[in-house]
Chain A
Amino acid sequence: MVTSGFERRTRAGATYATLALFAVYCLFPFLWMVDTALKPPGEVRSLNPTFWIVNPTLENFRHVLTDGNFLAYFRNSVIVAGGATALSLMIAIFCGYALSRFPREPITRTVGGALLMSQMIPGVLLLAPIYILMRELGLLSTYRALIIVYCTFAIPLCSFMLKGFFDGVPGELEDAAEMDGCSRFGFIYRILLPLAAPGILATALFCFVTAWNEFLFGYVLINDEARRTLTPGIMVFKGPHLTDWGALMAAAVLAVVPVAVFFVYLQRFLMEGLTTGAVKG
């Protein structure tokens, strides 16, 4: 670009300075969490806190994993998030296929519009009726209640993400398959799904992470310690008065691990996913 050397240099300097500030701002809380988790109690409760740990220890992790219900919370979250992901993917594959291939059909437009609108209706407004509904169905404090409720945000999210990926599979392939006598469901099963597999995996992981992070319904619909999921579980861990911050941070680190691992894969899909409007913050 035609710019003066002075402008280029100040611009480069300002850019790196800004990015360095942002890097500190974004990373510091995360690193401090890991740091605290590795400190012995004496260093956690220090009036002179530093990043340097004199006696690094895994005691906090041992405490979290062996005492208390952390492992049960973790397992419950895996079951609920996994179940919700599987169920909503099964439904969203067909819905996403319809959104991608029959976008002009009146029924597709109606349901597509309703799915978009439903993303705008927040869970807390529907809290009381959903609680009552689950109580009437006798599903309070069951995995099924959370799996079903998580589908409310997971189905729209998955449908629109999958639509984007299905759009990338050329329509000519479907015509060719039809000419060779392949049925519509045969096409979905034998051609569309294998071709869109990376996108489907990305959708599944994103859906899993969103369900994993959900807090409100897990907090309200589950009252049984044995069925409690991780996010409300961590909050219970905090306790009302005296908090064992080292152990709490160890639990937090463990809760972030699966999310972080999945995001390494999701990174390259994120740009597109966010811009197509399928992703809810």
Chain B
Amino acid sequence: MKALVDTPVATRLEAAARRDRGARRAALGKAAAVCVAPAAVFLLVLIAYPLSRVFWSAFHYVNLTNPTVSGFARLDNFTTVFEDEHFWPSLWRTCEWTVVSVVGEYALGLASAVALAQPIRARSVFRAIVIIPWVIPIVVAGLNWTWMLTPDYGVLNIWMVKLGLMAKPYYWLGNLNSALLTVSFVNIWRSFPFYTISLLAALLSVPREILESAAMDAAGPIRRFVYITMPELKIVSLTLIFIHVIWTAINFDFIWVMTQGGPYNASETLPIMIYRYAMEDFDVGAASALAMMTMGFMLAVFFIYWYGARSSSRESATW
């Protein structure tokens, strides 16, 4: 047997096969390159290039309408942003809006997912109903709620007064104290179904045997939920919260449609500020500086998530 393998013919055959494999590998690499090339071109032109322009503009004087404004600005654009009286309040409001929205979305998403995971009749009907808000375009959802909340003829105001919850109709979107919270509330309404669907999928994959043996050991429903179900949901929850912190913090549409950042900047967040710098003040430099800072903030959130996900996966590995 050994002699046969060592014959020159076999060696040559093997060499040929190896060469073939090499050629095939190279062909695969080439095919892969051809297939991803168009997508890569789009990424370079529409993401990488604008991104590099943001970095460049952050350190240069750039005006949207006046091309004579130019030159290296050092850190002037950052100074413009920091000295803007709206910057710190906007940063604070961005955090407020993000935290309120994400906490509310997660709470509603978890509650609805747990309810939908029970052995119930007509689950698919309820699931379809719960998805409805997420299907509705943001602009439509925003205007619809604006209509329901109008102080004069808005149905929610009138009904709440009738039920005795309020003395008189309240201008939810027009008051400094309530504008941002109201928009957050509508954002929660529109966004929580995404959590429902993701958490429901995770809930349905929690092993029944473990829950059952815990029930036999006399663990009540609350203990079973806290000690068995919640740890199983940890990775999904972390991912959901991470992507929504980012999507919410940079959300422009909801606030713009419902309040345009008003009244008196009471609902202005960083994305609204970026828009105002760029499209109303035409100060692309300041807009880019603020965009860069926002990106830094997002990177920080990303590292927190990454660290959290890694340490929790290590925990479950040792367990």
Question: How many positions in chain B have a CB within 8 Å of any CB in the partner chain?
Answer: 93
Within 8 A of A (CB), among B239-296: 239, 243-244, 246-247, 250, 252-253, 256-257, 271, 274-275, 278-279, 284, 287-288, 291, 294-295
Query: In this complex, what residue of B is CB-closest to A273?
Result: B197
B155, A32: Cβ atoms under 8 Å? yes
B107 within 8 A of A: no
Stretch of A59-67, A94-102, A193-201 with 4 or more beta carbons under 8 angstroms from chain B:
A94-102
Minimal beta-carbon separation of A181 from chain B (angstroms): 16
Please, which residues of chain A bring their CB within 8 A of the CB of B211?
A: 1
Does A114 belong to the interface (CB within 8 Å)? Answer: yes
A125 touches B126 (CB 8 A): no
Cα A182 to Cα B34 with chains together (Å)? 18
B35, A124: Cβ atoms under 8 Å? Answer: no
Question: Within the complex, what minimum Cβ distance (angstroms) separates B59 from chain A?
Answer: 14
- Inter-subunit contact B115/A125 (CB<8 Å): no
- Partner of A11 from the list B118, B133, B189 (CB cut-off 8 Å) is B118
- In the complex, the answer to whether A270 meets B153 with C-beta atoms within 8 Å is no
Residues of chain B with a CB closer than 8 A to A213's CB:
137-139
Give chain B nearest CB distance to A141 CB in angstroms. Answer: 15
Using Cβ atoms and an 8 Å threshold, which residues of chain B touch A115? 39, 43
The answer to whether A126 touches B51, judged by C-beta atoms less than 8 angstroms apart, is yes
Q: Is A139 at the interface (CB under 8 A from chain B)?
A: no
CB distance from B215 to the nearest CB of A (A): 5
Proximity string of chain B (289-307) to chain A, C-beta cutoff 8 Å, 1 when within and 0 when not:
0010011001000100000
A248 to B128, CA, bound (A): 26
Which residues of B are in contact with A by a Cβ distance under 8 Å? 28-29, 31-36, 38-40, 42-43, 46-47, 49-51, 53-54, 57, 64, 108, 111-112, 115-116, 118, 120, 126, 128-141, 143-145, 147-148, 150, 152-153, 155, 158-159, 189, 191, 193-194, 197-198, 200-201, 208, 211-212, 215-216, 220-221, 239, 243-244, 246-247, 250, 252-253, 256-257, 271, 274-275, 278-279, 284, 287-288, 291, 294-295, 298, 302
28 cross-chain CB contacts under 8 A: A1-B211, A22-B115, A23-B130, A47-B153, A90-B38, A102-B29, A120-B302, A121-B47, A121-B51, A124-B252, A126-B54, A128-B54, A128-B287, A129-B51, A131-B64, A132-B64, A133-B50, A148-B46, A155-B43, A213-B139, A216-B256, A245-B150, A256-B135, A259-B135, A259-B136, A263-B135, A280-B247, A281-B247
Which A residues lie at the B interface, using CB under 8 A? 1-3, 7, 11-12, 15-16, 18-19, 22-23, 25-27, 29-30, 32-33, 36, 44-49, 90-92, 94-95, 97-99, 102, 105-108, 111-112, 114-115, 118, 120-133, 148-149, 151-152, 155, 159, 184, 209, 212-213, 215-216, 219-220, 231-232, 234-235, 238, 243, 245, 248-249, 252, 255-256, 259-260, 263, 267, 270-271, 274-275, 277, 280-281
